[in-house]
Homo-oligomer: A and B are copies of this chain.
Amino acid sequence: MQYTAITLVKRPKIHITPDLFETVTLETPQLKDQQILLKQTHMSLDPAMKGWMTEDRNSYIPPVELGEIMRSSGVAEVVESRNDKFRVGDRVVGMIGWTEYAVSAGKGLQVLPPNVSAEAVLCVLSLPGLTAYQGLMEIGKAKAGETLVVSGAAGSVGSMVGQIAKAEGLRVIGTAGSDEKCRWLEDELGFDKAINYKSDDLAEQLRAATPDGVDLYFENTGGPVQHITYGRMNAHGRIIVCGMIADYNTDKPSPGPNWINMIRRRLTIQGFAMPDHWDNVPAMMEKLSVYLMDGKIKYRAHKLNGLESAIEGINLLFTGGNTGKLMVEL
């Protein structure tokens, strides 16, 4: 049977452009012992992918090799199985890649319970939810009563961070790039305050929303929110650096804040990436499932259609054009 996949053939310089990819037609092979054949139904698009396309000897994960199928996580159905652990009809989540079909020996795949939707999986029980929980709770050590500012709050990670924080009893202020997103954060997700970072009076709004200063800053974007929030950090404040999406698509990243405040307020800034924390995934999955079952976490998916929509569609993440967790329905 023939199917379509997309390989990475060039590395991005600044922007992700269509010429980085090649659409190829492949043939499903005869399965060997222990192998399964997967038909992907939902494929996740995440900002981290830009890093996976880029070579950096110090990066947290090896880059996708040129000529290989582009890396991504997704939900798939088992359509053929020569492995006892997977039955035809099972749904799984894992790193499946930009492809309609994939052959796997099952490594790294998790079978999904039947009552959870593919959207809930990609929005909550995979990279976005895990990243949010790891950063906020394990690295940031968030405590009830503290004030959190989260940038990129309407994004896939930011929206999880804010909701987990609310569930844990924090006061939550989010920044996002449109009034519509801000309304969603306040009205649907229960943020204490959401601020459009494009407002002329951003600094005044952030100040007014944090009368007792800021204990935790969860950084997804960089840009002006970073500098203003940094200046409002309380003593012993923690800053968790998860994303710098405002700077991923420039060749001249903007400067950060001066470090004098690090001493005056005894701040900690910590960067992290999930591949360092896989050991913690099962425990976090359990916590996230509980939030989900208790109705404490809502999500919205922004769905594109068809494998090849990923090529242009991934840039929505960098323009802020997506409303909700970006994914491709196959």
- Total identical chains: 2
In the docked arrangement, what's the CA distance between A58 and B232, Å? 10
Q: State whether B270 touches A262 (Cβ < 8 A).
A: yes
A263-B272, A266-B270 known; 12 other A-B pairs, CB under 8 Å? Answer: A58-B265, A60-B235, A219-B259, A241-B262, A244-B259, A259-B271, A262-B270, A263-B271, A266-B276, A268-B268, A268-B269, A269-B270
In the docked arrangement, what's the CA distance between A60 and B266, Å? 8
Which B residues touch A51, using CB under 8 A? 264
Which B residues touch A59, using CB under 8 A? 264
Choose, from A202-210, A250-258, A303-311, the stretch at the interface.
A250-258
In the docked arrangement, what's the CA distance between A258 and B248, Å? 11
In the docked arrangement, what's the CA distance between A255 and B270, Å? 18
Q: State whether B253 touches A255 (Cβ < 8 A).
A: no
Judged by a CB distance under 8 angstroms, whether A56 is at the interface is yes
In the docked arrangement, what's the CA distance between A256 and B241, Å? 15
In the docked arrangement, what's the CA distance between A174 and B276, Å? 31
A269 and chain B: residue at smallest CB distance = B269
Judged by a CB distance under 8 angstroms, whether A222 is at the interface is yes
Q: Which of A219, A226, A242, A244 has the most CB of B within 10 A?
A: A244
Q: State whether A269 touches B259 (Cβ < 8 A).
A: yes
Query: Could you show 18 A-B contacts with beta carbons less than 8 Å apart?
Result: A51-B264, A56-B264, A58-B213, A58-B235, A58-B265, A60-B235, A60-B264, A60-B266, A222-B258, A244-B258, A253-B258, A255-B257, A256-B258, A256-B259, A262-B271, A263-B271, A263-B273, A269-B270
Q: What 0/1 pattern do residues 216 to 233 of A give for CB contact below 8 A with B?
A: 000100100010000000
Judged by a CB distance under 8 angstroms, whether A35 is at the interface is no
Q: Which of A241, A243, A265 has the most CB of B within 10 A?
A: A241
A259/B58 contact (C-beta < 8 A), A270-B268, A271-B265, A276-B266 known: no
Which B residues touch A138, using CB under 8 A? none
Q: What 0/1 pattern do residues 37 to 65 of A give for CB contact below 8 A with B?
A: 00000000000000100001011100000
A253 and chain B: residue at smallest CB distance = B258
A273/B269 contact (C-beta < 8 A), A247-B258, A258-B255, A260-B244 known: no
Q: State whether B243 touches A263 (Cβ < 8 A).
A: yes
Judged by a CB distance under 8 angstroms, whether A189 is at the interface is no
Judged by a CB distance under 8 angstroms, whether A234 is at the interface is yes
